[in-house]
Structure 1
């Protein structure tokens, strides 16, 4: 599989750094402990366009790619799970706003990452398409609200995906899995 840009969540490294990994370039932003952390991995060609980057927090990193006719901003996020306090979630959205402020208004901005959200399978204005999955959860509602305010769309809900199968365990002691069609 050939990938130009790969967003990473739960990198679990401390600090922030840019490094070469073979022919790839990795930028990452971590905290003070080996928890959380986000990164973006670029192939050799895309890395040549990396103009600048900024570690925002252990949940947000932003990279600016120099492109024509417009530059491209990539914001990698790792949103707290439903078990997290609302204060932590709101801090994350503040960090995303800070990352957006690092970019220019005319830049094309793409937010990627682990949103720990289920946005449902029903259209929500021009934000959620008809091919989402499941029922909207609390984090999904917050993500939809943020996208509406900031004029973003959740792109993976606009394209029909291959039907997903659920996996079930055969019995508590049997760790083999079977497909449930």
Structure 2
């Protein structure tokens, strides 16, 4: 993050449980995980950008949302963990919001 001069870094598959925030070397980390050490998402903000963090909401072990207070408009950041091509079809369909339709008998 420092080397390539990023202000915000989204991370996926961090495998932390629950949700929370912490300070790391002046940076602010917010995270959202489940009950098991699977999936999990984080957003890491540098010192300057963290001062604009208005609120944040852990949605699930695959989604966290942050609101930055800015001018002229506030900014929303969404970090998502999406299933990979190696994932089961059921998991991909769940992520895409699709449900298998049962055939009528």
- Same fold judged by TM-score > 0.5? yes
Matches of residues 68-87 of structure 1 in structure 2 within 5 Å? 68-87=71-90
Superposed CA RMSD in Å reads 1.4
From 13, 16, 20, the equivalent of 2:16 is 13
Could you tell me which runs of 5 or more consecutive residues in structure 1 were left unpaired when the two chains were aligned.
Answer: 95-181
Which residue is equivalent to 2:62? 59
TM-score by length of 2: 0.81
State the 1:11 CA deviation.
1.1
Unaligned runs of 5+ in 2: 98-105
Find the aligned partners of 1:48 and 1:18 in 2 and give their Cα distance: 14
Structure with higher Rg: it is 1
C-alpha deviation, 1:22, in angstroms: 1.5
- Could you tell me whether the CA contact under 8 Å between 1:27 and 1:39 is conserved in 2? yes
Count the aligned residue pairs: 94
TM-score (norm 1): 0.49
Residue of structure 1 equivalent to 2:92: 89
Structure richer in helix, relative to its length:
1
Which is richer in strand?
2
